[in-house]
Amino acid sequence: MYCPFCQKETKVIDSRISDTSVKRRRECLNCQKRFSTQETPQLTLLVTKKDSTSEEFSPEKIHRGISKAFNKRPFTEEQIKTLSETINSHIFNNHSQITTKEIGKIVAKKIKQKDSVAYLRFISVYHSFDNLEKFKEELTKLENKKTRSKK
């Protein structure tokens, strides 16, 4: 959990645990401001897969997919984590059930706002667009352009 004021690391200074939630008081290691967070149980989300079977939504899986897409791109581990968390809570807050295809579209859209290379990589892996070959082509073009400009 990062400080909402300066986005730096915080520490937990007190935890109160009840039957339905955990409340933590935190202090920022940088600006020393204090705030509290509350953990409450979240509804699980069922994801329908292409073969019509379903599985529980996995934030971890989303994070892995995003990390892979951003591999060697100029983003920090923290930025990737924050992006994954934003996407995961967006999905949780707006859906009671969802398909893998919808998830792919949401994630792709969010990645696109950050980085076009990561975006192309993601969609080529996720198969979230119909015209996959065209996107692979574009990805290759983009990467070739970068290699050439480095020389």
Q: How far apart are CA 123 and CA 106, in angstroms?
A: 11
Site membership for Zn ion, residue 6 (CB under 5 A):
yes
Site membership for Zn ion, residue 37 (CB under 5 A):
no
Site membership for Zn ion, residue 3 (CB under 5 A):
yes
Q: How far apart are CA 15 and CA 26, in angstroms?
A: 9
In the structure encoding, which two tokens stand for residue 134, read together?
């065209």
Q: Which residues pair with 36 in a beta bridge?
A: 25
Site membership for Zn ion, residue 5 (CB under 5 A):
yes
Distance in Å, CB of 90 to Zn ion, minimum: 25
In the structure encoding, which two tokens stand for residue 12, read together?
């937990």
Distance in Å, CB of 75 to Zn ion, minimum: 21
Q: Which is nearer to Zn ion, 1 or 142 (CB)?
A: 1
Candidate residues 24, 26, 28, 88; the one interacting with Zn ion per rule CB under 5 A: 28
**For the purposes of burial, counting CB atoms within 10 Å of the CB of 38, is it exposed (0-12), middle (13-18) or buried (19 or more)?**
exposed
Q: Which is nearer to Zn ion, 10 or 88 (CB)?
A: 10
Site membership for Zn ion, residue 99 (CB under 5 A):
no
Site membership for Zn ion, residue 139 (CB under 5 A):
no
Q: Which is nearer to Zn ion, 5 or 129 (CB)?
A: 5
Output the CA torsion sign for 20, 3, 93, 58.
Answer: negative
- The strand pair at 34-39 and 54-56 is best described as unpaired
Binding site for Zn ion (CB under 5 A): 3, 5-6, 28, 30-31
